[in-house]
Amino acid sequence: MKSSKQRMTSLAEDIGIHETPYRAKLHHLFLQIEKEFELLYLENLSLQEKLDGYTNKDSLQSCERSTSTNPSGANPSSTIPQPTAVTGAEEVDTTSGGPVVSGSKSFKSKFTYSGGKVKASHKIKAQTSRIVSSFKAQSVVSSTVMREFCGHKDGVWQVAAKVGQPIIGTASADHTACIWGIESGRCLLQYTGHVGSVNSIKFHQNRDLVLTGSGDGTAHIWQAAVNWDVSKKGHSSEEELDDSDEQVEDRDRVDTLRTPLCEFQGPGGHLSVVVAADWLVNMDQIITGSWDRTAILWDVETREPLQPLMGHDHELTHVSAHPTQRLVVTASRDSTFRLWDFRDPIPGVSVFQGHTESVTSTVLTKDDKVVSGSDDRTVKVWELRNMRSALATIRTDSSVNRLAVSNGGIIAIPHDNRQIRLFDLNGQRVARLPRTSRQGHRRMVSSVAWAEEPLLNCDLFSCGFDRRVFGWSIILPKDN
C-alpha cells in the first residue's frame, strides 16, 4: 500500500487542492488509514516472530533426529512427518505487510507422511538439506547501516550517487533537493528552485550538474558545486565544547541555491507533473516523463523539446536511459513499458507487456537487459533482443518502487512494506536487508541507488517516506 503521506503530498500539492477545510479533512482521513496499517503491520510482525520460533525449533529437532537415525533400517520414530524447507523466492520470506497466512499454508503443505516405505538414507539427506538451507539463508550477505542522512521535512522520492565523489543527492516532497556529504552525513547544498514536490534526481556523469523533475511540471538543471571544507568538518565532542555560538551557527548553515541553469517548460513541454528525468549517454539531451502520458526528448543547449514520445494509455511513472547507448525506457500505469531507440535517424519503439498492474520502475543495464518492477509485486528481467517473454520473474509480497541494478548484476528492490531485498539477474534471492528499530525504514522505501565504487564503506543508498536516507555497507559472497 502506498503511504498516506505520499498520496496526501503528491495529490494535494500537485493537483491543486488549496481549500483549508478539504485539506484538513484529507489529513484526518489519511492519518486514520495510516494508524490502521500500523496496527496490521505490528500484528503481522508478531505472527512472523512466532512462526520463526516454530521454524527454528523444528530445524533443531530435525538435526537431533538426523544424528540418531539408524542408516541400515527404517526407524519408526523417523517416519514422523517433518517440515520441508520452502525453496520459493518469497515463500521463505513472509514479512511485515506480506501474506503471513498464505506463508503458513505453504509451510503446512510441505508436511508429508512417508510411512515405512521411505528409505532412511533419503530422510537423512533431506534433513541435512533443510539444515544447510536454513543456515545459508541467514549468512548469504552482510549488511549494515553505515550512514544516516536526516533533514528533509517530508518523504524522500529518490536518492542518487555521484560517480567519483563522496556525495549523494536526494529529491523530496518538501519541494527541495539536497546534496549530502557521505563522510559527514551533512547537507552541503539545498536546491529550492522548484515550487512543487521534487520527484527525481540524477547527477551529470562528468560535471557538477544535477537534473531534477518536479510536480510543478518542469525539469531543472542546476549547479551542484559543494564546499568541501565545510563537508570535512567533524562533530567530535571536544570540538563541540570549544565551539562558540558563531562557529556552531556557521557549521550548521546550509548553502541554498534557488536559480537553475536550465529550465525545461513552455510550448511543447509537459502539461502535468514531471515524475522522472534522466540524462542520455552523451549528456547533451535529457528525457522527461509526465502524468500527461508523454515523455519528451529535450536539447540541453537550446532547452527546446526535440520530440514527444507518445503511445502510453495512462500516466507515466518512470523514465531511464541506457548507460552507454542512445536507448530510453518509459514506464506507465498502463502496465507496459516502452523501449525507444534513438540510434537511428528514425527512432524505433518496442512495447514490453508482462505485468498486470502499473510498472513503477525500469532500469537498463550495461549488458542490454531491462529490469522492470511493478505494483503487481513482481520484478522481471528482460533481454532487449527478445521482448516476448521475461528471462526471469521475481515474485515478492509487496509493491515494488524505484529499483537499482549494480555493476555486478545485483538488483536492489525497495518495497512498500518497508523492506529492501537483493536478487541476482537470474532471479535468485541474495538477501533481505535488516529492518529493526535501529536499522531500516519505518515507512515505504521509495528508491535505492548503488554506488559504482564503495563510497566511504557505503555500497547502497536507500530513501523512504519516513524522511530518512541510509547508506548501507553490503558485503556479498564471492560467487555473486
Asked if residue 198 lies in contact with residue 169, where contact means CB atoms within 8 angstroms, the answer is no
What pLDDT is recorded for position 173? 97
Q: What are the residues whose beta carbons fall under 8 Å from the beta carbon of 425, sequence distance 6 or more? A: 365, 369, 371, 381, 391, 392, 405, 409, 411
Position 21 pLDDT exceeds 80: no
Question: pLDDT tens digits for 415-431?
Answer: 999 999 999 999 999 99
Asked if residue 448 lies in contact with residue 462, where contact means CB atoms within 8 angstroms, the answer is yes
Q: Which three cell numbers stand for residue 134?
A: 536454513
Distance, in Å, from the CA atom of 264 to the CA atom of 298, rounded to the nearest integer, reads 8
Least confident of 36-45, 130-139, 217-226, 394-403: 130-139
Least confident of 46-60, 127-141, 378-392: 127-141
Least confident of 83-92, 126-135, 293-302: 83-92
Asked if residue 171 lies in contact with residue 196, where contact means CB atoms within 8 angstroms, the answer is no
> Pseudo-torsion of CA 292, 297, 298, 304, nearest 10°?
-70
Asked if residue 87 lies in contact with residue 115, where contact means CB atoms within 8 angstroms, the answer is no
- Average pLDDT value over all residues in the chain: 78
Least confident of 9-18, 318-327, 376-385, 430-439: 9-18
Question: pLDDT tens digits for 135-145?
Answer: 444 444 678 89
What pLDDT is recorded for position 132? 40
> What end-to-end distance do the CA atoms of the chain give, in Å?
32
Distance, in Å, from the CA atom of 176 to the CA atom of 2, rounded to the nearest integer, reads 21
Distance, in Å, from the CA atom of 4 to the CA atom of 29, rounded to the nearest integer, reads 9
* 443-466: average pLDDT: 93
Position 103 pLDDT exceeds 50: no
Residue 434 banded pLDDT, cuts 50, 70, 90: confident
Residue 252 banded pLDDT, cuts 50, 70, 90: low
Concatenated DSSP letters of 100-129: HHHHHHHHHHT----GGGS-HHHHHHHHHH
* 71-84: average pLDDT: 34
3-state DSSP assignment of residue 330: strand
Asked if residue 179 lies in contact with residue 472, where contact means CB atoms within 8 angstroms, the answer is no
Asked if residue 412 lies in contact with residue 448, where contact means CB atoms within 8 angstroms, the answer is yes
What pLDDT is recorded for position 129? 44
What pLDDT is recorded for position 61? 53
* 325-349: average pLDDT: 94
Position 57 pLDDT exceeds 70: no
What pLDDT is recorded for position 35? 75
Query: Which amino acid is present at 466?
Result: D
Least confident of 56-70, 193-207, 287-301, 349-363: 56-70
* 447-454: average pLDDT: 91
Concatenated DSSP letters of 235-283: --HHHHHH--HHHHHHHH--EEE---SEEE-STTS-SS-EEEEEE-TTS
What pLDDT is recorded for position 89? 35
* 450-463: average pLDDT: 90
Position 118 pLDDT exceeds 60: no
Distance, in Å, from the CA atom of 266 to the CA atom of 288, rounded to the nearest integer, reads 14
Least confident of 81-85, 379-383, 386-390: 81-85
The region that residue 309 occupies, defined by phi over 0 for left and psi between -120 and 50 for alpha, beta otherwise, is beta
Residue (of 329, 330, 378) closest to 354 by Cα position? 378
Position 3 pLDDT exceeds 80: no
The pTM is what? Answer: 0.70
What pLDDT is recorded for position 54? 66
Concatenated DSSP letters of 270-296: -SS-EEEEEE-TTSSEEEEEETTS-EE
Q: Which three cell numbers stand for residue 78?
A: 523417523
* 248-273: average pLDDT: 86
Position 296 pLDDT exceeds 80: yes
Distance, in Å, from the CA atom of 432 to the CA atom of 414, rounded to the nearest integer, reads 10
What pLDDT is recorded for position 95? 33
Q: All domains of the chain, ordered by start, with CATH?
A: 142-225+258-475 (2.130.10.10)
For residue 272, what are the CA distances in angstroms to 70, 216, 264? 72, 8, 13
